[in-house]
Amino acid sequence: MTRETSSLTTIHRAFEILELLWELDGAGPTELANRMDLPDSTVYDYLRSLSDTKYVTRENGTYFLSSYFLTIGGKMKHRNRLFQVAKPEMKRIAAETNELVGLTIENDGIAVVFHQEEGKQALSLGTHPGAATPLHTLATGKAILAYLPDERVDEIIAERGLEQRTDHTITDVDRLKDELAEIRDNGYAVDWNEQVTGMGMASVPILIDDQVLGSFGIVVPTGRIQDEQYQQELLRKLQEMEETVTINYQFGE
């Protein structure tokens, strides 16, 4: 038989089960079998194999995603050079500003909060390390988009679209491109109410020989970011941080 998508069904199903285990926060063969429209015994075979790996745990009859995901995620961060040099700086700025300081990267066309340091009165709801959002819906994402090659930007837009998050989200391609050009002119990005109403952020890209490795951002309540003077102060701190990190990043190599 000819293959439609040359994708191994076994793998496809295995990861579908992971997804379901995640969504349901643990489940047994029958429940999964119903959702996937497969015999119980087949799902059982999968679960058995999966719990041989470190990724799935069996606890008296029901199966769960194990905390190995946390472990891998943690190690990914800690062996990452950018994280290593950025962390102390982020901690410092978080302490100085008392706000929420984040390091965002791009992966597969979406923005992922790679690390976060919270100042004492930091806005706590909303983002957290690992949080994934469309790139065009927040300053940190746009700061990255602005410095990605043009064809890559088109690719991402084609694949992901321009989903609307709040009524401030940019959903028009041309308007987005204009804003990206503007970001390149300024060297920074600022937004409010685009990702979450009531929340705003300022962001600068992290550039190493013309490559965007990610972006730094500071998250603050919309009101505060609209204060021109405060915004400038935050941007100054971000730029200062970016410079230090860029130097340290290259220094160690």
Partner DNA sequence: GACTGTTTCCGAATAGATCGGAAATTACAA
Partner DNA sequence: TTGTAATTTCCGATCTATTCGGAAACAGTC
Which residues make up the interface to a second copy (CB under 8 A)?
A: 5-8, 10-12, 14-15, 22, 25, 45-46, 48-50, 52-55, 57, 65-79, 91, 95, 105, 107-108, 112-114, 118, 120, 128-132
CB of residue 253 to DNA, shortest distance in Å: 18
Closest to a second copy by CB, 74 vs 161, is: 74
| Residue 19 token pair | 């997804």
Please write down the long-range contacts of 72-81, taking CB distance under 8 Å and 24 or more positions apart: 73/130, 77/114, 77/115, 77/129, 80/114, 81/249, 81/252
Footprint of DNA on 1-60 (CB under 7 A) = 1-3, 6, 8-11, 13, 27-31, 38-42, 44-48, 58, 60
Q: Is 217 in the site for DNA (CB under 7 A)?
A: no
Is 217 within 8 Å of 102 (Cβ atoms)? Answer: yes
Q: Decide which of DNA, a second copy, none touches 4; Cβ closer than 5 to 8 Å per partner kind.
A: none
Spatial distance between the Cα atoms of 113 and 25, rounded to a whole number of angstroms: 23
Ranges within 135-174 binding DNA (CB under 7 A): none
Phi, psi of 132 (to 5 degrees): -115, 130
CA proximity to 218, closest of 77, 76, 123 = 123
Given the complex with DNA, which of 61 and 252 has the nearer CB atom? 61
Angle at 76 between CA 183 and CA 70, to 5 degrees: 115
The residue ranges that bind DNA (CB under 7 A) are 1-3, 6, 8-11, 13, 27-31, 38-42, 44-48, 58, 60-62
